[in-house]
Chain A
Amino acid sequence: MTQSAKQFFDEMQAYGGNVRAIYQAYQRWLANVPTQQLVAKRAEAEVLFRRVGITFNVYGEEDGAERLIPFDVIPRMISASEWAHLSTGAVQRVRALNLFLHDIYHDQEIIKAGIVPQNILTNSQYRPEMVGVDVPNKVYAHVAGIDLVRTSESQFYVLEDNLRTPSGVSYMLEDRKMMMRLFPDLFRQYPIAPVEHYPQVLLNNLRSVAQTGITDPTVVLMSPGAYNSAYFEHAFLAQQMGIELVEGQDLFVRNNAVYMRTTQGPKRVDVIYRRIDDDYLDPLVFKPDSMLGVPGLLSVYRNGGVTLANAVGTGVADDKATYIYVPEMIKFYLGETPILQNVPTYQLSKADDLAYVLAHLAELVVKEVQGSGGYGMLVGPTASHQEIEEFRLRIVSKPDNYIAQPTLALSTCPTLVDQGIAPRHVDLRPFVLSGKSVSVVPGGLSRVALKEGSLVVNSSQGGGTKDTWVLERDDIGQTASQHQDASQFINKEVVC
């Protein structure tokens, strides 16, 4: 299924017509920069990233196991008004998800109300160990990465919520630092919202979720160790926050408290920002062969002797099966209308959904609930009339067996590739922080699929990253471009 570039919304050029207002000044600047210069800047960035050691590990590779995630020098911009929409939407979502997590491990009102089905309690990510456990401030997802995609000027969708140990924020910070170093002039022209305070906000939040009565909590970051693929990020964040980077072997449990081994003897730990999965936290409760965890940690945690961020058991809220209920959760817990939309998923067991899907078969992807490997699947846009009509009969005879989703046309952003500058698909992960309040730093991780036509942005699949510019004002595009025009005019005069 190939589609020409014009069918996709482009962050810079919309549908190939006029350059969007916020990109105008940048586009003019870009038009005057030779591609070789961009290539040279990218090479410079690579040298610097390698020197700083911003690498991720590839499992199972002996030598040269440390790789750089490709960095693209062309930024992805988000206007002030777009950001207002996205950030309030993401905050709203995380507020609801935290309330859901508290509910599902306590009174389970949402099940009683018939909004979320009872069988969520048998989900493998549901942790019975957490039932009745009270966590400080009722915060479960202290750090949440909300993956967003855009399909048109006004349409954003939430692809998934990452509530376990979301990563990538170090790229948001390091990509920004790199862009400021490579293109300082652009930062004078554009009112780009700063992101550098992220570690401070995170630290304040972590301190605020220590157990009551602790005035000066000791916060640590717990990592699986130097061979973990995200180790750079763990080290980076610990350093930025000025806290110890610990591994399981550095911690031990005694008298319902967690201590770290120091050169001066044991030191009490109050908050653990852990970047290690639930399964590996405590060999006494979860995987017994885990060498990464701390025996007894969960028992201390459940008794309120230490805070874990994120909490244990958040996986039940970001699971694919739970995702479809998030808009309902927002209405149920907050009494608000969801600001951000899920990718519409039609459950054909519902009469309304069935009617809609049958009327729009040519636009949708219809999948068998239990199907896999492309069997029993209809791709509307590429199917023949006859195929559609045959499939229609199968749906009607057994509607419960099917779900349907639209084919998502991810937006593209100009990207420097081998052939020059070309549109490539992007997504966006802002990081939502919960402590005393819920907030989001203006920016995020923009991932870009470097392969032409590819919609897969994951770094393990050859995806790269871009700096994300959230603008503080939207009018600046035009004013800045006027300045830019004037200076270009002067330059031309000199050259002539």
Chain B
Amino acid sequence: MLSRTADNLYWMARYIERAENVARVLDVTYNMSLLPSDSSNEHDLWNAVLEIAGIRHIFDSTYPTINATNVIKHLVMDSHNPSSIYSTLRSARENARAVRVAMTVETWENMNTLWLEFGQYIKQDLTQSGLGEFCEWVKSRSHLFRGVCFGTMLRDDAFNFVRLGTFMERADNTARLLDVKYEVLIPQQAANDGAVDYYEWSAVLRSVSAFQAYQKVYSDAIDPVKVSELLVLRQDMPRSLHACYAEIMPILRQVAGARQTEAERLAGQTHATLHYGRMLDILKDGLHTFLDDFILANRRLGDEIQRSFLNATV
């Protein structure tokens, strides 16, 4: 398929996935903020949201203080923030519009309807009310997007690049979420005589729809190490790093055709650490180090995909 078309499909899927993950983190954080706690917490809570999205510097250049209203405004409708839900959905739809030929009619109509419905939401002031409903809407639209692709698209390269975009983005987002939360919560735990903050950790799980899965897999009290294992190493947990790479591997094999690509080698290397790795070993060097390495490797793979498939030159 055309490299430009593949590029548009890949980024359309990445942007949808990014919007969903931003909505997930916002939703859970907002619910956390409703719990009774001292006011100093508000700053930490919403700062974590900015760290996960990796946009602290953009935020700081626009807003004087970190609080719920500013962060929500910045992450939902700020057109200057490339990671805001507004920007990501608009980019997703722009990418879709450029390649509507490569999609099924249903996929395109779904993307177009999403944008038209979003137009209704941005008229409301979501910092005051309706944020929960809005986040639910983003999530369900993203579910619908994947469903309509899965249910209607021919299993060709177009489908492959859409899926590739979804899992590349998701792997990055899950890794960032865990990295930021782990760094904030583990020192707090130490200061608190090792008591695990049940609400904080269950919020982490909920933000990746893993709360029930945790109960089912471990039938145990919430333990940060097990949460990490679930989100990093468990292949049967659909938003885990391992699950993402288990999807990415065969896709890269297929789109490469007869070629041997550097992208496939890089992905294989990362996949091996997730497939054969143990939590015990990961914790020896620290989860933070591991996740940092992972985020870097994932970014390098993204660059390689871009180079060998999406910006293919003569």
Q: Which residues of A contact B94 (CB under 8 A)?
A: 226
Select which of B4, B98, B112, B157 is within 8 A of A53 by beta carbon.
B112
Q: Are A260 and B2 in contact (CB under 8 A)?
A: yes
Q: Are A239 and B5 in contact (CB under 8 A)?
A: no
**Beyond A261-B314, A262-B2, A266-B314: 12 further Cβ-contacts under 8 Å?**
A52-B112, A53-B108, A244-B1, A244-B2, A244-B101, A250-B4, A261-B312, A263-B2, A263-B3, A263-B255, A263-B310, A264-B1
Over the window 301-314 of chain B, the binary record of Cβ atoms lying under 8 Å from chain A Cβ atoms (1 yes, 0 no) is 00000000110111
Q: Which residues of B contact A266 (CB under 8 A)?
A: 314
Over the window 248-271 of chain A, the binary record of Cβ atoms lying under 8 Å from chain B Cβ atoms (1 yes, 0 no) is 011010100000111111100000
Select which of B1, B101, B112, B312 is within 8 A of A235 by beta carbon.
B101
Select which of A51, A247, A265 is within 8 A of B312 by beta carbon.
A265
B195 at interface, CB cutoff 8 A: no
Interface residues of chain A, those whose CB is within 8 Å of chain B, are 50-53, 225-226, 235, 238-239, 244-247, 249-250, 252, 254, 260-266
CA separation between A383 and B158, bound complex, in Å? 66
Select which of A235, A238, A261, A264 is within 8 A of B4 by beta carbon.
A261
User: Taking A52-B109, A266-B314 as contacts, is the C-beta distance between A250 and B101 under 8 angstroms?
Assistant: no
Q: Are A51 and B97 in contact (CB under 8 A)?
A: no
Q: Which residues of B contact A52 (CB under 8 A)?
A: 105, 108-109, 112
B34 at interface, CB cutoff 8 A: no
CA separation between A226 and B98, bound complex, in Å? 6
Chain B interface residue count: which class? 20 to 34
CA separation between A265 and B309, bound complex, in Å? 8
User: Taking A51-B113, A250-B3 as contacts, is the C-beta distance between A263 and B314 under 8 angstroms?
Assistant: no
Closest to A244 in B: B2
CA separation between A262 and B255, bound complex, in Å? 11
Residue pairs across A and B with Cβ atoms less than 8 A apart, 19 shown, are A51-B109, A51-B112, A51-B113, A51-B116, A52-B112, A53-B109, A226-B97, A239-B100, A244-B101, A245-B99, A247-B4, A260-B2, A261-B3, A261-B4, A261-B314, A262-B2, A263-B161, A265-B312, A266-B314
B257 at interface, CB cutoff 8 A: yes
Instruction: Say how far A152's CB is from chain B's closest CB, in angstroms.
Output: 43
Instruction: Say how far A326's CB is from chain B's closest CB, in angstroms.
Output: 36
Instruction: Say how far B270's CB is from chain A's closest CB, in angstroms.
Output: 21
CA separation between A247 and B313, bound complex, in Å? 15
CA separation between A53 and B105, bound complex, in Å? 10
5 closest A-B pairs by beta carbon, nearest first, are A239-B101, A245-B101, A263-B309, A261-B3, A238-B101
Interface residues of chain B, those whose CB is within 8 Å of chain A, are 1-6, 94, 97-101, 105, 108-109, 112-113, 116, 157, 161, 255, 257, 259, 309-310, 312-314
Q: Are B314 and A249 in contact (CB under 8 A)?
A: no
CA separation between A245 and B102, bound complex, in Å? 9
Q: Which residues of A contact B310 (CB under 8 A)?
A: 263
User: Taking A52-B109, A53-B112 as contacts, is the C-beta distance between A250 and B314 under 8 angstroms?
Assistant: no
Q: Which residues of B contact A264 (CB under 8 A)?
A: 1, 257, 259
Q: Which residues of B contact A239 (CB under 8 A)?
A: 100-101
Q: Which residues of A contact B313 (CB under 8 A)?
A: 261
Select which of A51, A53, A252, A261 is within 8 A of B2 by beta carbon.
A261
Q: Are A249 and B4 in contact (CB under 8 A)?
A: yes
Instruction: Say how far B309's CB is from chain A's closest CB, in angstroms.
Output: 5
CA separation between A483 and B265, bound complex, in Å? 72
CA separation between A245 and B9, bound complex, in Å? 14
Instruction: Say how far A260's CB is from chain B's closest CB, in angstroms.
Output: 6
User: Taking A51-B116, A53-B97, A53-B112 as contacts, is the C-beta distance between A246 and B2 under 8 angstroms?
Assistant: yes
Instruction: Say how far A10's CB is from chain B's closest CB, in angstroms.
Output: 38
Q: Which residues of B contact A249 (CB under 8 A)?
A: 4
